[in-house]
């Protein structure tokens, strides 16, 4: 009987299974013998690739920067200006009082023509919606299904009222919904603010039910933010849907509505603000933002800057490699001596 030392080198190096049962798995995929493209990065390929990236990215960056700069945008901070002078030293007493008038009016003159639609955003600063406990404080089953209104897991302390009845929608995210309001007046006429279709369509269709209605919401002693219309299902309450898509950064904007008429230059716009939301507790700020949009969205110089930076770096290295290749060339090896060219199967002989 031959021993293991008498096995031929080809038999020892073979990866094919000996067992009859395992031969079913003897395929190119299971044996990792599928054909593969193994590029050889010669100086010509590297220089050509870097040059192509530079030539492609720089025009895209310039076009993106130009598009971003063409966006008309105005940012108005109002948390301090809407605070009465008599309450300047006690903002908490003012914002938590139910008897004080929280309406304030600010005027803004349009500098450049803003074509419809003009998007209205509210911006909050120093507001950490990405806090782990805050993000988890919701129950998606309850938001979607009418029969799951008792599902309040992860919603504590906003899960039940004193009578042990569930809160719908439960959790800290819904409880803290933004409730400042804006009204715009131009030439003694109210500008209609369209508050429909401001939420993601996927959120409306797949995350909020058409038969789920608010129940026991903001009925406890501590009121967080706004109230919800108990006669409308959650799917139709788009301000809630927008708010519950939590932001990743402490400074964020959320869409409030759209003005669907053009704002002409030198028009004086009167903005009537209901200053209800309590950002004074944590030192946050509130701003209302009016902005137009282009095909790539609102004003965002970062994207164009990134394209220009990558394109410029690529062209720089293209020139550097060309000079290095011309001034101090290096002899190239023969690719035919590479292991995968000499032994395509990859077996050790």
Kindly report the pTM of this predicted structure.
0.80
Range of the domain at 310: 42-71+296-325
Burial class (CB in 10 A: 0-12, 13-18, 19+), 307: buried
Contacts of 298-306 with CB under 8 Å at 24 or more apart are: 298/71, 298/73, 298/119, 299/68, 299/69, 299/71, 299/73, 300/68, 301/65, 301/68, 301/69, 303/64, 303/68, 304/61, 304/62, 304/63, 304/64, 304/65, 304/66, 304/67, 304/68, 305/61, 305/65, 306/61
Residues 146, 190: one domain?
Answer: yes
Contacts of 132-138 with CB under 8 Å at 24 or more apart are: 133/172, 134/172, 134/173, 134/246, 135/173, 135/246, 137/171, 137/172, 137/173, 138/169, 138/170, 138/171, 138/172, 138/173, 138/174, 138/244
Residues 56, 169: one domain?
Answer: no
For range 118-143, the mean pLDDT: 95
Q: Is residue 8 part of a domain?
A: no
Q: Is residue 37 part of a domain?
A: no
Q: Is the pLDDT of residue 322 over 60?
A: yes
Q: Regarding predicted confidence, which is higher, 31 or 94?
A: 94
Residue 23 — pLDDT band, cuts 50, 70, 90? low
Residue 3 — pLDDT band, cuts 50, 70, 90? low
Residue 21 — pLDDT band, cuts 50, 70, 90? low
Q: Is residue 13 part of a domain?
A: no
Q: Is residue 67 part of a domain?
A: yes
Q: Mind giving me the DSSP string for 45-59? A: HHHHHHHHHHHHHHH
Residue 14 — pLDDT band, cuts 50, 70, 90? low
Q: Which of 244, 277, 293 is the last residue of a domain?
A: 293
Residues 49, 194: one domain?
Answer: no
pLDDT of res. 195: 94
Q: Which range has the worst mean pLDDT, 68-72, 193-197, 294-298? A: 294-298
pLDDT in tens, 232-280: 999 999 999 999 999 999 999 999 999 999 999 999 999 999 999 999 9
Residue 166 — pLDDT band, cuts 50, 70, 90? very high
Q: Which helix (H) or strand (E) holds 210?
A: none
Q: Is residue 30 part of a domain?
A: no
For range 293-314, the mean pLDDT: 92
Q: Which of 269, 293, 317 is the last residue of a domain?
A: 293
Residues 47, 162: one domain?
Answer: no
Residues 84, 207: one domain?
Answer: yes
pLDDT of res. 150: 87
Residue 31 — pLDDT band, cuts 50, 70, 90? confident
Q: Is the pLDDT of residue 58 over 50?
A: yes
pLDDT of res. 10: 46
pLDDT of res. 20: 60
SS3 content of the chain, % helix, strand, coil (to 5): 35, 15, 50
Contact 262, 117 (CB under 8 A): no
Number of domains in the chain: 2
For range 40-47, the mean pLDDT: 86
Q: Is the pLDDT of residue 28 over 80?
A: no
Q: Which of 249, 273, 293 is the last residue of a domain?
A: 293
Residues 67, 78: one domain?
Answer: no
Q: Which range has the worst mean pLDDT, 15-29, 189-203, 238-252, 326-340? A: 15-29
Q: Regarding predicted confidence, which is higher, 330 or 179?
A: 179
Residues 62, 179: one domain?
Answer: no
pLDDT in tens, 196-210: 999 999 999 999 999
pLDDT of res. 223: 83
Contact 260, 116 (CB under 8 A): yes
Judged by DSSP in three states, 11 sits in: helix
Question: Where are the strands (E) in the chain, listed by range?
Answer: 73-77, 103-109, 118-125, 181-186, 189-191, 193-194, 252-259, 268-274, 285-291
For range 129-137, the mean pLDDT: 94
Q: Is residue 343 part of a domain?
A: no
Residues 242, 187: one domain?
Answer: yes
Residues 78, 67: one domain?
Answer: no
Residue 348 — pLDDT band, cuts 50, 70, 90? very low
Instruction: Give the C-alpha distances (Å, rounded to integers) separating 334 from 40, 265, 339, 343.
Output: 11, 69, 11, 15
pLDDT of res. 22: 61
Q: Is residue 15 part of a domain?
A: no
Q: Is the pLDDT of residue 126 over 90?
A: yes
Residues 243, 318: one domain?
Answer: no
Would you state the structure tokens that stand for residue 274, as one six-digit string? 């209901």
Residues 50, 158: one domain?
Answer: no
Instruction: Give the whole-number percent of the chain exceeding pLDDT 70.
Output: 89
Residues 58, 151: one domain?
Answer: no
Q: Is residue 24 part of a domain?
A: no
Contact 77, 284 (CB under 8 A): no
Per-chain mean pLDDT for the chain: 87
Q: Which range has the worst mean pLDDT, 108-112, 154-158, 183-187? A: 154-158
| Measured distance between the N- and C-terminal CA atoms of the chain, rounded to whole angstroms | 25
């Amino acid at each position: 009987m031959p021993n293991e030392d008498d096995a031929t080198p080809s038999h020892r190096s073979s990866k094919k299974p000996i067992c009859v049962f395992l031969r079913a798995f003897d395929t190119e995929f299971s044996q990792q013998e599928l054909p593969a493209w193994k590029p050889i990065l010669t100086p010509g390929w590297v220089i050509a690739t870097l040059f192509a990236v530079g030539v492609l990215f720089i025009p895209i960056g310039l076009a993106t920067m130009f598009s971003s700069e063409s966006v008309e945008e105005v940012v108005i901070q109002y948390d301090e200006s809407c605070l009465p002078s008599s309450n300047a030293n006690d903002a908490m007493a003012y914002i938590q009082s139910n008897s004080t008038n929280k309406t304030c009016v600010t005027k803004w003159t349009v500098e450049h023509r803003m074509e419809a639609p003009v998007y209205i955003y509210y911006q909050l600063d120093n507001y950490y919606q990405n806090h782990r406990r805050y993000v988890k404080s919701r129950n998606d089953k309850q938001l979607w299904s009418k029969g799951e209104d008792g599902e309040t897991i992860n919603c504590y302390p906003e899960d039940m009222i004193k009578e042990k009845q569930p809160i719908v929608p439960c959790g800290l995210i819904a409880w803290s919904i933004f409730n400042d309001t804006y009204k715009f007046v131009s030439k003694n006429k109210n500008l209609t603010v369209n508050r429909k279709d401001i939420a993601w369509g996927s959120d409306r269709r797949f995350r909020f039910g058409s038969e789920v209605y608010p129940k026991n919401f903001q009925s406890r002693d501590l009121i967080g933010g706004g109230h919800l219309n108990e006669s409308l299902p959650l799917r139709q309450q788009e301000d809630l849907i927008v708010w519950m898509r939590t932001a990743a950064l402490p400074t964020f904007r959320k869409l409030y509505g759209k003005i669907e008429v053009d704002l002409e230059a030198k028009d004086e716009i009167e903005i009537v603000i209901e200053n209800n939301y309590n950002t004074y507790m944590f030192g946050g700020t509130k701003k209302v933002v009016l902005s137009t949009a282009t095909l790539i969205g609102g004003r965002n110089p970062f994207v164009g800057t990134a394209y220009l930076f990558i394109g410029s770096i690529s062209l720089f290295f293209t020139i550097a490699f060309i000079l290095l290749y011309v001034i101090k060339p290096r002899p190239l090896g023969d690719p035919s001596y590479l292991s995968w060219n000499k032994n395509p199967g990859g077996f050790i002989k």
